[in-house]
């Protein structure tokens, strides 16, 4: 599990395309400082498994399913990526519950800078809009953010996020521009609430109270 607090802005050092997958070597000295084979590291919000380690670098295999459902397919040598190690049990919970399981991709529609922050509007697939709520949580390329506004409908659905200078400087969201494709993970709690509401899981039986005299 992750929290959406990016630890490091890494760089894709190499990409090797396989028949039905891709192998990425990622440069990230902070996240590799205590990493081991088999550890989980989120790359732009996608939970990936370390298969090889070298000083300051780690290698991951990305299957075709992941490439087709995330923006990782657009990465190449030189691309910058947001990196976060899995949260330790005694770690500080700085963001929100992030699984590293991307629900879909969005496309940046506009970037509106102001003096102290930048507003980014992102087009979102209609199927994900029911999980978005103003002031709720959303993960964009692995960054835990607060939804500031929701609008549109159908294929024109969108949401907005406000980025402070720290987020702009320390994540790859500072380089976003209209047309950029980003990974989206909605709040997992919203998905479980929906499933319970639809009655797809057995209800907890009520306790039977017997009156005594």
CATH number at residue 167: 2.40.30.20
**Above pLDDT 90, what percent of the chain?**
79
Residue 203 has pLDDT above 60, yes or no: no
Q: Tell me: do 76 and 108 sit in the same domain.
A: no
Q: Is residue 122 part of a domain?
A: yes
Distances from the Cα of 172 to the Cα of 89, 131, 160, 180, 198, angstroms: 27, 24, 17, 11, 37
Q: Is residue 91 part of a domain?
A: no
Q: What is the mean pLDDT of residues 78-105?
A: 89
Beta-carbon-side half-sphere exposure of residue 208 (alpha carbons within 13 Å): 1
Number of residues that make up the chain? 213
At 43-71, the pLDDT tens digits run 999 999 999 999 999 999 999 999 999 99
- Say which range, 46-50, 164-168, 185-189, has the weakest mean pLDDT: 185-189
Q: Tell me what the pLDDT averaged over the chain comes to.
A: 91
pLDDT for residue 213:
46
- Of residues 190, 191, 183, 186, the one with CA closest to residue 46: 183
Strand, helix or coil for residue 183:
strand
Q: Tell me: do 81 and 108 sit in the same domain.
A: no
Between 203 and 162, where is the model more confident? 162
Counted domains in the chain: 2
Please, which residues bridge with residue 105 across strands?
183
Tokens, residue 100:
């590293």
Between 155 and 200, where is the model more confident? 155
Q: What angle do CA 141, 146, 148 make, to 5 degrees?
A: 115
Q: Tell me: do 71 and 129 sit in the same domain.
A: no
pLDDT for residue 69:
93
Report the C-alpha gap between 143 and 132 in whole angstroms: 16
Q: Tell me: do 19 and 59 sit in the same domain.
A: yes
The CA dihedral of 32, 100, 6, 73, to the nearest 10 degrees, is: 80
Beta-carbon-side half-sphere exposure of residue 124 (alpha carbons within 13 Å): 30
Q: Which domain holds residue 182?
A: 104-197
Q: Tell me: do 79 and 134 sit in the same domain.
A: no
pLDDT bin (cut points 50, 70, 90) of residue 89 is confident
């Amino acid at each position: 599990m992750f929290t959406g607090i990016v630890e490091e802005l890494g760089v894709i050092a190499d990409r090797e395309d396989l028949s039905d997958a891709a192998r990425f070597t990622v440069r990230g000295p902070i996240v590799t400082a205590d990493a081991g084979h088999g550890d989980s590291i989120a790359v732009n919000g996608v939970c990936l498994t370390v298969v090889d380690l070298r000083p300051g670098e780690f290698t991951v295999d990305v299957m075709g399913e992941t490439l087709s459902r995330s923006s990782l397919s657009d990465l190449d040598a030189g691309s910058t990526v947001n990196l976060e190690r899995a949260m330790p049990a005694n770690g500080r919970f700085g963001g929100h519950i992030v699984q590293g399981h991307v629900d879909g991709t969005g496309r940046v529609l506009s970037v509106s800078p102001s003096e102290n922050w930048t507003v980014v509007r992102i087009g979102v697939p209609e199927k994900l809009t029911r999980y978005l709520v103003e002031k709720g949580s959303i993960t964009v390329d692995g960054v835990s953010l607060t939804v500031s506004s929701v609008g549109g409908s159908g294929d024109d659905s969108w949401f907005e996020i406000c980025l402070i200078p720290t987020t702009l400087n320390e994540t790859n969201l500072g380089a976003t521009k209209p047309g950029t494709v980003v990974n989206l993970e909605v709040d997992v709690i919203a998905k479980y609430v929906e499933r319970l509401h639809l009655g797809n899981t057995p209800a907890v039986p009520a306790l039977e109270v017997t009156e005594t005299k």
